[in-house]
Chains A and B, each alone.
Chain A
Amino acid sequence: MEQKDLFKELGQIRSLMEKSSKFVSISGLSGVLIGCYALLGTLLGYYITTNTEALNNQFTGDLTLLNIFLILAIFILALSLLTGWLMARKKAKKSRQSIWNITSKSLLFAVSIPLLTGGLLVLILLAQGYYHLIAGMLLIFYGVALAAGSIYTFTEVRWLGILEISLGLLALCLPDHGLLLWGLGFGALHIIYGFIVYKKYES
């Protein structure tokens, strides 16, 4: 056997071991887009809070403001999930893989436990009126979910998770700056992460 063939053979074994255990169809560009949605959402959130007085004349009380926030957050979440899914499907098709396979199932299962826990916790906090804890808690549990899922996808996801957790902890210390930290965590970090993944694996 030629040396070139040996290198090629070892390289193929390596890539197959990776490909069979990691879901790599997540698109880096979708990370950038999702980050942009989040930034826009945060800006809109800022606009709403800074114009509370004006809004309060039209609506009644803080509860309505909270509802506006919730609707905005859920809308951005849905849009992000849709974007991520569509772009992953496109990327999977390109490499002739299906989007629903062993690795994507493992990934989803791994992230679902922290995400569901965090989601339920935030609903409880909402019901009990601990509004100042919500921004931090969501960031923390999102980060834990990313760290948990990272063994089934790009290693960069682990770092993204750790940074989200750190911002979440910071948000708990600085409850007044929750929105700013959301913008950093869900917006800026996603854009940077998406750009790195795009540069490293896609271009």
Chain B
Amino acid sequence: MKLDLSLYDKVFENRVRLQIMSVLAANEEYDFNSLKELLDVTDGNLASNLKTLEKEEYIVVEKSFVDRKPNTRYKRTTKGLKAFENHLIALENLIKQQYK
């Protein structure tokens, strides 16, 4: 049987990007530092993967200042959530496929 990989999203092949999207799917918004602490990754790694997701229009960035300190928050877009859900379905299908 042929494998349907149309739902599989190459963007999420990167672990950190998939993790970021998981957090943003479960939460209305998340800020940079909280993401960094939760995922336990370096600033550079996190920033570059956030940039990729932003370019794909999977997330949007909101910059503001809290007590004069820059505060960067991220939110999922409808497109991003759909892509994430599809990717999960693709992973589930892969599992089902291997059972057959």
Residues of A bordering B, CB below 8 Å: 1, 3, 6-7, 9-10, 12-13, 16-21, 96-98, 101-102
Contacts and interface: CB of A to CB of B under 8 A. Distances in A.
Contacts of A12: 19
Contacts of B37: 97-98, 101
Contact of B94 (A6, A16, A17, A21): A6
Interface residues of B, number: 19
B98 to A, nearest CB: 5
B15 to A, nearest CB: 8
A149 B27 CA distance: 16
Contacts of B88: 10, 13
B66 interface: no
Given A13-B18, A13-B22, A13-B88, A20 B94 contact: no
B30 A20 contact: yes
- Of A3, A13, A17, A96, most B-chain CB atoms within 10 Å: A13
Interface in B42-92: 88, 91-92
A3 B88 CA distance: 14
B26 A20 contact: yes
A12 B39 CA distance: 11
A157 B49 CA distance: 36
A175 to B, nearest CB: 43
Contacts of A97: 37-38
B71 to A, nearest CB: 12
Nearest to B99: A3
A203 to B, nearest CB: 25
- Of B26, B40, B95, most A-chain CB atoms within 10 Å: B26
A20 B98 CA distance: 31
A19 B18 contact: no
